[in-house]
């Protein structure tokens, strides 16, 4: 059963991921979500990447 994530939690993970500042546990968690096709994760991440790139 997949864990449910709040928008806030996904934004947190995406923001820290874009900054390359996730700890290993969060890094694994977020990359797993991306790999599973989390659309909100991708959208949030793309927006944050545009800020820092």
Partner 1 sequence: MSKVIVVTQAGWLSIGFLKPAEFEQLKNAGLEERMPKTSPHDLAKFTPPPQEQNWDMLISEVAKGDESALSVLYDGTSRLVYALALRILADVTGAEDVTIEVFTQIWHKAVDYDLRRSAPLAWLLMLTRSRAIDRLRPGKLRDRLAESLGIDVPTSTPDPEETVLEVERRQLVQNAIAKLSPQQRKAIELAYFYGLSQSEIAVRLRQPIGTVKSWIRFGMIKLRELLSPLEQGEQ
Residue appearing with tokens 């694994």: 28
Q: Does the footprint of partner 1 cover residue 19 (CB under 8 A)?
A: yes
Of the pair 4, 53, the CB lying nearest partner 1 is at: 53
Of the pair 40, 46, the CB lying nearest partner 1 is at: 46
Alpha helices (H) in the chain, listed in sequence order: 7-18, 24-35, 39-52
Q: Does the footprint of partner 1 cover residue 23 (CB under 8 A)?
A: yes
Q: Does the footprint of partner 1 cover residue 2 (CB under 8 A)?
A: no
Minimum distance of partner 1 from residue 18's CB (angstroms) = 7
Beta carbons of 30 and 22 less than 8 angstroms apart: yes
């Amino acid at each position: 059963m997949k864990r449910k994530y709040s928008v806030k939690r996904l934004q947190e993970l995406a923001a820290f991921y874009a900054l390359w500042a996730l700890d290993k546990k969060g890094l694994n968690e977020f990359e797993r979500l991306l790999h599973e096709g989390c659309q909100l994760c991708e959208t949030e991440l793309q927006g944050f990447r545009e800020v820092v790139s």
